[in-house]
Amino acid sequence: MSIHPTAIVSPKAELDPTVEVGPCAVIEEHVRIGPRTRVGPHAYITGWTDIGPDNVIHFGAVIGDYPQDLGYDGSEAFLKIGAKNVFREHVTVHRGALKDDRTTRIGDNCYFMCTSHVGHNSQVGSGVIIANGGTLGGHVIVEDRANISGNCLVHQFVRIGTLSLMRGGSRVSKDVPPYCITNHTNDVSGLNIIGLRRAGASLVTRTSLKQAFRTLYLGGLNVSDALVQLRQMPESPELKHFIEFITASKRGICAFSGKVSEELE
């Protein structure tokens, strides 16, 4: 184990022998850190935080601190982080509050850029990217491989669908359907075709999702009637998830911005 002499590590913390801890980092008693994880200078890891293998935590990141919830009383609540995530400078990730299962969760292979924030009780999947200044409120759900661009704002309890893309400065208080692109405030403009290609979605799948998007947003139907039409389309795993996500929405989904993106023309 490599711990810089200026670091402060509680003797009650559980660190794998391969963990590296940089200068002036602070790791408190309930923390557990898995193999080959690197903790950078001045990082602060606290709370009931469980960090998996091969993570990289950069300068000044704060991982597992108190939730920003006025009802939280300091009782046991949790943060669970998977493998191979990167937390860049001054990222903040808060542990759960005293609701639901009291746990904030992050999957594998995520990239959190400088000053991004994950609020309490949020559930972040795998392969997610949150760019500089991106902010998740409490109880947000972000599905696998979503891409949240710089300075995007996500209201508490919102869901961000898989392979969706929030363009820079977007802000949402409604759910973002899978594979969609957001603009401005609660606006959807099209499908994340580039993301779908990179994820290996076939031409047939991409064509089916284009048709589904047109039915939902361009067909002049309300959401309930559009779902009836979508359920009559040839089923694929991607279309099934698209339908299930919209059906399960409690906050409602983002609306169409009124301008058709090039990939839908």
> For residue 247, what is the domain's CATH number?
1.20.1180.10
Query: Does residue 6 fall inside a structural domain?
Result: yes
In a shared domain, residues 14 and 133: yes
- Listed residue (170, 165, 168) closest to 143, CA to CA: 165
| pTM: predicted TM-score of the whole model, two decimal places | 0.94
In a shared domain, residues 6 and 72: yes
In a shared domain, residues 137 and 49: yes
Model confidence at 261: pLDDT above 60: no
| Alpha carbon distances (Å) from 39 to 43, 44, 52, 237 | 7, 9, 12, 39
In a shared domain, residues 226 and 135: no
pLDDT digits (tens, 9 = 90+) for 177-209: 999 999 999 999 999 999 999 999 999 999 999
Residue with tokens 């559980």: 14
Q: How confident is the model at residue 51 (pLDDT cuts 50, 70, 90)?
A: very high
φ and ψ at residue 107, rounded to 5 degrees: -80, -135
Query: What mean pLDDT comes out for the span 92-116?
Result: 93
In a shared domain, residues 137 and 9: yes
In a shared domain, residues 23 and 138: yes
In a shared domain, residues 111 and 224: no
In a shared domain, residues 37 and 113: yes
185 token code pair: 């405030």
CA distance 193 to 206: 7
Q: How confident is the model at residue 259 (pLDDT cuts 50, 70, 90)?
A: low
pLDDT digits (tens, 9 = 90+) for 131-145: 999 999 999 999 999
In a shared domain, residues 112 and 34: yes
Listed residues 142, 159, 190: the one ending a domain: 142
In a shared domain, residues 115 and 48: yes
Query: Does residue 114 fall inside a structural domain?
Result: yes
Query: What mean pLDDT comes out for the span 148-169?
Result: 98
* Structural domain harbouring 215: 200-264
Query: What mean pLDDT comes out for the span 98-121?
Result: 93
In a shared domain, residues 7 and 138: yes
| 122-161 burial code (b ≥16 CB/10 A, e <16) | bbbbbbbbbbbbbbbbbbbbbbbbbbbbbbbbbbbbbbbb
| Alpha carbon distances (Å) from 255 to 10, 26, 67 | 49, 44, 31
In a shared domain, residues 16 and 111: yes
pLDDT digits (tens, 9 = 90+) for 159-182: 999 999 999 999 999 999 999 999
What is the domain count for the chain? 2
Model confidence at 265: pLDDT above 60: no
